[in-house]
A and B are shown apart, each in its own frame.
Chain A
Amino acid sequence: NAGVTQTPKFRILKIGQSMTLQCTQDMNHNYMYWYRQDPGMGLKLIYYSVGAGITDKGEVPNGYNVSRSTTEDFPLRLELAAPSQTSVYFCATDRDRNTGELFFGEGSRLTVL
């Protein structure tokens, strides 16, 4: 089993460009999350989903969009990239509420110049 797979691993964008970070899981988990990690700031939740067709905002959703059309996939869309979106992005899953065990992908490092 691959677990949680994120693509791409690295990307450089110009200001104003758009892109999608892909996240796919093969664990049949209902809950999926997108976090961004900035030095000295820990992880901040961008969006999350409790199942196919359901998404909700986290702490820092501005500038991002998500969709969840299947259990397996939870893509994160950046519409107009800004330097403030330079970060490492992590996708994570959880089987169900209150298990407390998030399974993380290896991260996608995005630089906006």
Chain B
Amino acid sequence: AQSVTQLGSHVSVSEGALVLLRCNYSSSVPPYLFWYVQYPNQGLQLLLKYTSAATLVKGINGFEAEFKKSETSFHLTKPSAHMSDAAEYFCAVEGTGNQFYFGTGTSLTVIP
């Protein structure tokens, strides 16, 4: 069965510093992987997705993620954090039966 694990429920970075949010997946077949962002009191919105094309995926707002099969990882990065990046981030994998499985989320705080 497919699943994702997000390491670190809370991450704090200074404004302008590198953002690194970790996600590891478990899948017996090549997975489709996603990162979603949730701003306070809103629904989730798609940041980026990996669908077995390029291993480095670029998303919105300067975020990108790299699919590493050898490490079963799909970490999310951004070179320079902005105050507006403060939000909760979810990694997800598409499983069988049209279902998506979400990680437990990482809350990102950006310190001015």
Contact = CB atoms under 8 A, between A and B. Distances in A.
Interface of A: 4, 31, 33, 35, 40-45, 48, 50, 56, 58-59, 90, 92, 97-98, 100-102, 104-107
A41 B44 CA distance: 15
B49 interface: yes
Given A100-B49, A100-B51, A100-B94, A42 B44 contact: no
B42 interface: yes
B74 to A, nearest CB: 13
Given A31-B98, A42-B105, 10 more contacts: A33-B100, A42-B102, A43-B90, A45-B100, A50-B98, A92-B43, A100-B34, A102-B44, A102-B100, A104-B45
A102 B94 CA distance: 11
A52 to B, nearest CB: 15
A102 B42 contact: no
Interface in B44-81: 44-46, 49, 51
Q: How large is the interface on B (under 10, 10 to 19, 20 to 34, 35 or more residues)?
A: 20 to 34
Nearest to A38: B104
Q: Rank and list the top 4 A-B pairs by shortest CB-CB distance, nearest first.
A: A104-B43, A42-B104, A43-B102, A42-B102
Interface string B27-47: 000001010100001111110
14 contacts: A33-B100, A43-B44, A43-B90, A45-B99, A45-B101, A50-B98, A90-B44, A92-B43, A97-B98, A100-B32, A100-B94, A102-B46, A104-B45, A106-B41
